[in-house]
Structure 1
């Protein structure tokens, strides 16, 4: 059996990471990136400059977030009452510049992104959406909640 040693985390001095965030091994967090409360970031992830991973978000392994991404923000839904809901991101996903994914509406509900997703620049996934595995969303594509 072979073991692979993960490198240390590289976190820019201007990044803000909430004390309740759980960080995997071998991650990189760029300048002015924010990782919010009760967030889990899997091994090998790269979070670019000014990207924000909002509260109650779980990110799988080896995901890449380019500058300006907003993942797990409150839903754009008038029914939302600040209930605890989630955003779940699978493994091997790439979120290009300025992608947005909103967390779910409804206590305990999820917005879910599968494995090996490519979300090109300016794409949006709304509350309560479920995106399967191996999906490519082209620039400026939008999924409504």
Structure 2
């Protein structure tokens, strides 16, 4: 692991720099703690990052199905959006329309685009543009596996 990658994993929680956004799912911090594991809470509610190449969905490549928010169960990504990037986290070139909200993230002395669930505000990861992957959008949604749960039921996430 690179020096920077080690720091990012070690200090992977940061405080928001602006007023919190409002989302349809308005559960309290105590309610989130009651339904999420400590690691899910750290990542989804405290904007943490799981270690690269450790997540359940990094190499998961179904032909159909939907990835949902692990916090509120909102549909986020279709299986067809997923691609292999080699970055160590699940990568998607697009999301279900309206499912993901983008915010500027100025943590760790850099500017990135954070992505969160549009229903509950749960931290998913970051989106990167212009990396040259052969995808329709030239975007990579780099998502923490622990922020997701997969369903292979048909008809979800339309």
TM class, shorter-length:
under 0.3
TM-score by length of 2: 0.24
- Please state which structure has a larger fraction of its residues in helix: 2
For CA contacts below 8 A with separation 6 or more, give which structure has more relative contact order: 2
Structure with the bigger percentage of strand: 1
